[in-house]
Amino acid sequence: MRIFSGIQPTGRKHLGNYIGAIVQYVEGQHRAAAAGDIAIFCVVDLHAMTVPWNPVEMRERVYDTAAILLAAGLDPEQCIFIRQSDIPEHTELAWHMGAVTAHGDLNRMHQFKEKSARQRDLVSADLFTYPVLMAADVLAYRANEVPVGDDQRQHVELMRDVAQRFNDRFGEILVVPELKIPELGARIMDLQDPTSKMSTTSGSPEGTVYVLDDAKTVEKKFKRAVTDSDDPPRIVRDPSKPGVSNLIDILAAARGTSFAEVEASLADARGYGDLKVATAEAVNALLDPVRDRYTALRADEDVLEAIFAAGAAKAREITRDTLADVRQAIGVGPRG
């Protein structure tokens, strides 16, 4: 059982990324190793070029993101930890996958619609073909499982279609991967606007909790979180109560329990204040050790580069094989 997932080095990583994705990566790394296979985690710098970027900041953000992932518990001895641009097979395979991707399918992608509407200057071809590179990221490793948050569902479904279409035409060469969305925390919402997902690019700064926010800031953001005006207050998960439901989900994910247990633990609460305080405490307990380790890891960029170099060497042992099979099947490159 092989796992692959990727994360962008854009902006600062927030609680949605942490609970929706990073927690799953750490769990997946152990599960894949226990099954005698491997999990691959990738900082996708090439995907960060699909919207305007600053080249100097790009390198900084890649190191920031790498240090957060390692601080969260990714262990380069147990998984393969890579930077996307170090592995040329990702981009070559993206070209081959583009040949079996329908233009109309790319046109239907929600993310493309949202991000292209926000661009003031150039809507680049790379923004449009973003999901093709994402498909190649996963298919290059013949991964079985892709842990992501809910917002990546459509992209993973597209990559399944692409792999299937390739195999139908050229033989069983690629693995059709499964989507893996966490039961709890697949869609963490903005604390100020609990009907929109928490996001660095489209959310509100006060409603977005960053992994590297200090404990006091985290507390402040939760204290100000939007709830509702139910009188008496009801601490239950319910579609009509998006703010309260979001806090319950975050608290359950941070404590590693079910939302029912969270509801039960707050049955005697006097009001939403108790829920907010409990959630802030649990989130700080989750993030405190990550923030401490981050500072040490981020300080040494040479070590981070060495980790990427070792990861790339391991990764290419897999991706070279896949590309050799794909090239053979589609009839490009030298005779096999």
Single out the residue of 70, 188, 290, 315 in contact with ligand TYM (rule: CB under 6 A).
188
Beta bridge partners of 16: none
Q: And the tokens for 8?
A: 């962008």
Determine if 47 is a binding residue for ligand TYM (CB under 6 A). Answer: yes
137 scored as a contact of ligand TYM (CB under 6 A): yes
Residues near 272 by Cβ (< 8 Å), separated by ≥ 6? 227, 233, 235, 244, 247
What's the alpha-carbon Rg for the chain, to the nearest Å? 21
The sign of the torsion formed by the CA atoms of 167, 173, 174, 176 equals positive
- Cβ atoms of 207 and 193 closer than 8 Å: yes
Residue 192 binds to ligand TYM (criterion: CB under 6 A): no
Query: Which range of residues in 6-14, 248-256, 288-296, 325-333 is near ligand TYM by CB under 6 A?
Result: 6-14
Could you say which of 12, 30, 165, 187 contacts ligand TYM (CB under 6 A)? 187
Q: Which of 151, 178, 281, 305 binds ligand TYM (CB under 6 A)?
A: 151
How many angstroms separate the CA atoms of 96 and 106, rounded? Answer: 15
DSSP state of 170: H
With binding defined as CB under 6 A, does residue 186 bind ligand TYM?
Answer: yes
Q: Which class for 141: exposed (0-12), middle (13-18), buried (19 or more C-beta within 10 A)?
A: buried
152 counts as binding ligand TYM under rule CB under 6 A? yes
Measured distance CA(210)–CA(319) in Å, rounded = 34
129 interacts with ligand TYM by CB under 6 A: no
Q: Is 5 in the site for ligand TYM (CB under 6 A)?
A: yes
Virtual torsion, Cα 231, 235, 236, 239, nearest 10 deg: 60
CA distance 38 to 262: 34
| Residue 301 binds ligand TYM, judged by CB under 6 A | no
Q: Which is nearer to ligand TYM, 149 or 233 (CB)?
A: 149
Q: Is 20 an interacting residue with respect to ligand TYM (CB under 6 A)?
A: yes
Is residue 7 involved in binding ligand TYM (CB under 6 A)? yes
Nearest distance from C-beta of residue 177 to ligand TYM, angstroms: 9
Q: Which of 26, 71, 146, 191 binds ligand TYM (CB under 6 A)?
A: 146
Q: Is 227:244 a contact under the CB 8 Å cutoff?
A: yes
Residue 284 interacts with ligand TYM (CB under 6 A): yes or no: no
Q: Please give the residue ranges that form the binding site for ligand TYM (CB under 6 A).
A: 4-8, 16-17, 20-21, 44, 47, 134, 137-138, 146, 148-149, 151-152, 155, 186-188, 197-199
